């Protein structure tokens, strides 16, 4: 079905309106009319080919919420009219060890990303949520139980939410744990909310003085402006866990020095340029670890969505028209987003 979308044909030009083709739903497919789509920094990295390997035309968007408009004959979990979401993955092999463990994001045969992933559908790579509709295998569709008026603000849970939830759970953030969240953008502000909701003592690290008051409101017990060495020093050797969401290359040593013995800093940001090599002695002498984490599995994403619906947790969003997407990217690049842009997909029809 012809579907209006917004995408880029090359890395250095603005996004523009394009018509794409969505496949007719197969037996296990769910067709979704997209209501809103969050804007992740990964969209910007991909559109502008900051990581290399971008396939054009590129239609980004992997924080998708909307309503089911058709289902294939074998689909039992969803029906027309259901409120649903799609995150960063639309397929995986379903038979490797990681898939068997419900960790489809680590699929040993390669997950299929919601955009820029391999697909037999035209044009040969997946096209994401900056579009009017999407057709997705039912295994990769999530149920959204937030009230309809929170739907736009729930969209960022599909990437920013799960990407922070998964490591917070894996490294056991909770009561009695001191947890740092570095970079208060789309991911980081969700990290603060979720770590707080899980009962941890939360310290937000920001480079933006203007976010100090907000970070407390998001649920941080303490806020540190990371450019201020004295403020940093006051937290030396004290953290159980630090989640680093920064989207740019920076000095990791300033944060590993804040971990206590056996503490871990997990990186989720994927900057265009590599971080300077960390100080190995600072790791060795306190058995500290630097780790990484990729989004989260489908069952875990549903668990996070249900947790957030129950606790009334959503993102703090600024709604935009699709025509404002390049301006939104430029502001995101300057850390000027409080705290997630969400596209009103109805504006694709304009
Ligand atoms: P974002 O909204 O732009 O937030 C990033 C934050 O990092 C900024 O708001 C800023 O926070 C801080 N920051 C930016 N430049 C900085 C610099 N030069 N030095 C120090 N801090 C800086 O981005 P996002 O959507 O949250 O995504 C963050 C990163 O995670 C991106 O690289 C994205 O591709 C990646 N990502 C990874 C996964 C995964 O599965 N691992 C999933 C989604 C996204 P302050 O103003 O508070 O300093
Ligand atoms: Zn994302």
Distance CA 167, CA 179 (A): 11
Which atom of ligand 1 is least distant from the CA of 267?
Answer: 41
CA angle 298, 302, 304 (to 5 degrees): 115
- Residue to mutate (ligand 1; options 155, 269, 316; most atoms within 8 A of CB): 269
- 252, 269, 283, 292 from 280: Cα distances, Å: 11, 20, 5, 17
| Nearest-5° Cα angle at 175, 171 to 179 | 50
Ligand nearest to the CA of 190: 1
Atom of ligand 1 nearest to the CA of 184: 47
Ligand 2 centroid distance, CA of 176 (Å): 30
Within 6 Å (CB) of ligand 1, which residues are found?
Answer: 40-42, 45, 159, 163, 183-188, 206-208, 211, 245-248, 250, 268-271, 293-295, 332, 335, 337
Ligand 1, atom nearest to 45 Cα: 34
Neighbours of ion ligand 2 (CB under 5 A): 40, 42, 159
Distance 51 CA to ligand 1 centre (A): 14
Q: Closest Cα to atom 44, ligand 1: which residue?
A: 42
Going from the Cα of 295 to the center of ligand 2, the distance in angstroms, rounded, reads 8
DSSP 260: E
Ligand 1: nearest atom to the Cα of 40? 25
Which of 329, 312, 349, 342 is closest to 42 using CA atoms?
Answer: 329
Q: Which domains does the chain have, with CATH numbers?
A: 2-159+315-349 (3.90.180.10), 161-292 (3.40.50.720)
Phi-psi region of 9 (alpha: psi -120 to 50; beta: other; left: phi over 0): alpha
Report the separation in Å between the CA atom of 19 and the middle of ligand 1, taken as the mean of its atom positions: 30
- Kindly give the number of the ligand 1 atom that is closest to the alpha carbon of 246: 7
Which atom of ligand 1 has the smallest separation from the CA of 295?
Answer: 40
Per-residue pLDDT, 350:
84
Helices vs. strands in the chain: H and E counts, helices first: 11, 17
Nearest ligand to the CA of 268 is 1
- Each residue's pLDDT tens digit in the chain (350 positions)? 999 999 999 999 999 999 999 999 999 999 999 999 999 999 999 999 999 999 999 999 999 999 999 999 999 999 999 999 999 999 999 999 999 999 999 999 999 999 999 999 999 999 999 999 999 999 999 999 999 999 999 999 999 999 999 999 999 999 999 999 999 999 999 999 999 999 999 999 999 999 999 999 999 999 999 999 999 999 999 999 999 999 999 999 999 999 999 999 999 999 999 999 999 999 999 999 999 999 999 999 999 999 999 999 999 999 999 999 999 999 999 999 999 999 999 999 98
Ligand sitting nearest the alpha carbon of 156: 2
- Cα separation, 180 vs 201, in Å, equals 8
Q: Cα dist. 84→152, 179, 305 in Å? A: 12, 31, 11
What is the residue with the minimal CA distance to atom 1 of ligand 1? 185
Substitution site in 46, 159, 246, 276 for ligand 1 pocket (most atoms within 8 Å of beta carbon): 246
- Residue whose token pair is 């969240």: 181
Closest C-alpha to 320, from 340, 290, 343: 343
Q: How remote is the CA of residue 261 from the centroid of ligand 1, in Å?
A: 26
């Amino acid at each position: 079905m012809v579907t209006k979308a917004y995408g880029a044909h090359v890395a250095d030009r603005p996004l523009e309106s394009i018509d794409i083709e969505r496949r007719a739903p197969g037996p296990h497919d769910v067709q979704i009319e997209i209501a809103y789509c969050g804007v992740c920094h990964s969209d910007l990295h991909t559109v502008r080919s900051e990581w290399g390997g971008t396939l054009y035309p590129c239609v980004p968007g992997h924080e998708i919420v909307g309503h089911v408009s058709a289902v294939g004959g074998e689909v039992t979990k969803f029906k027309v009219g259901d409120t649903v979401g799609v995150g960063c993955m639309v397929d995986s092999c379903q038979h490797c060890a990681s898939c068997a463990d419900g960790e489809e994001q680590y699929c040993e045969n390669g997950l299929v990303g919601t955009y820029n992933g391999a697909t037999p559908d035209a044009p040969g790579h997946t096209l994401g949520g900056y579009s009017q509709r999407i057709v997705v295998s039912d295994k990769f569709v999530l149920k959204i139980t937030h009230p309809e008026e929170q739907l736009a603000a729930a969209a960022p849970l599909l990437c920013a939410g799960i990407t922070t939830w998964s490591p917070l759970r894996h490294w056991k953030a909770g009561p009695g744990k001191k947890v740092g969240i570095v970079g208060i953008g789309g991911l980081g502000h969700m990290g603060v909310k979720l770590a707080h909701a899980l009962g941890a003592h939360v310290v937000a690290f920001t480079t933006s003085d203007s976010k100090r008051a907000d970070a407390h409101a998001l649920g941080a017990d303490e806020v540190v402006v990371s450019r201020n060495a004295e403020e940093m020093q006051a937290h030396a050797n004290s953290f159980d866990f630090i989640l680093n969401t920064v989207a740019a290359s920076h000095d990791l040593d300033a944060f590993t020095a804040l971990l206590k013995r056996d503490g871990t800093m997990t990186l989720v940001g994927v900057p265009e340029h590599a971080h300077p090599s960390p100080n190995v002695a600072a790791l060795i002498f306190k058995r500290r670890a630097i780790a990484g984490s990729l989004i989260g599995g489908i069952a875990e994403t549903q668990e996070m969505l249900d947790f957030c619906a129950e606790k009334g947790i959503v993102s703090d969003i600024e709604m935009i028209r699709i025509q404002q997407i390049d301006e939104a990217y430029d502001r995101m690049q300057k850390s000027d987003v409080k705290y997630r842009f969400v596209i009103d997909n109805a504006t694709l029809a304009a």
